[in-house]
Amino acid sequence: MVDTRTFSKANILVVGDVMLDRYWFGDVERISPEAPVPVLLVGNRDERLGGAANVAINASSLGAQLCLMGVVGNDEPGQTVETMLQQAGVQSRLLHDPQFPTIVKLRVIARQQQLVRIDFEERPSAEHLSTKMELFEQEYAKHDVVVFSDYGKGALEHVAAMIALCKQAGKTTLVDPKGDDYAKYAGASVLTPNRSEFKQVMGSWKTEAELHEKAQTLRTRLNLGALLLTRSEEGMTLFNNDGAFHVPAQAREVFDVSGAGDTVIATLACAIGSGMSLPDSVALANKAGGVVVGKLGTAVILPHELN
């Protein structure tokens, strides 16, 4: 039994790519006469916070003290993001870039199956990213744990400098990485790549021994406190100075993996921030990931679901 009330001790800053996830639900009953594509009659619509914002509301839902930093546009989706954060009780330090449209992912779904995803995105301006770095320098010292949620959309242009500041101040830093350049994450407390992301950087492996060697090599090369490899149906493996600690996957039907990594790193941050050991925090994050993949779309973990 986990006493999630202790998560109120966790004081977390989430920094990264803020998004709005939109869902259009409907029925398909015919094929278009214009082209061989299904015609969807939209019935219901839904909006959820995505990216770094999803990390923030997951941690907030578990009871942590939260602040979110990111960039949105001066547009309707940006205002929707701010309103949803306020409703969720999440403090935010969002920059509004008039030249940058808020990142939106639109998913069209019929009979619980995703037909298409449409992305609206551009990179933030260099000017606003510099301003964001200045805001970060003012904010990070107020928090014990800093989570960097990198979706490769440009908001973490200065992540290497941010991690260096946090390390110098003795802050715990958790990074959900993106891309094939992990050098910018050097010095982080915990790096949390998934299986395909790790393979992109370190290549494939045939045995557990080979995987362990690659993981520890990367950890040493980047001077990481720990590397947490999320392995889908194989669970999670934590690599640190003590060796490897493996947690099997929860026996649960996988419905939708969207946002599961956000839930995992949010739960990990709450657990570490409340004083739990790293192995216990990993086990709890694994359980949270097992719950959220049973939900449709980006979803929030609730405290009672961890028990």
pLDDT digits (tens, 9 = 90+) for 57-113: 999 999 999 999 999 999 999 999 999 999 999 999 999 988 899 999 999 999 888
- The residues annotated as belonging to the active site are 262
What pLDDT does 305 receive?
82
CA-derived radius of gyration, the chain = 19
pLDDT digits (tens, 9 = 90+) for 137-186: 999 999 999 999 999 999 999 999 999 999 999 999 999 999 989 999 99
Against a cut of 0.85, is the pTM above it? yes
- Written as one string, the DSSP assignment of 105-122 is EEEEEETTEEEEEEEE--
22 neighbors 45 (Cβ within 8 angstroms): yes
CA distance 120 to 136: 26
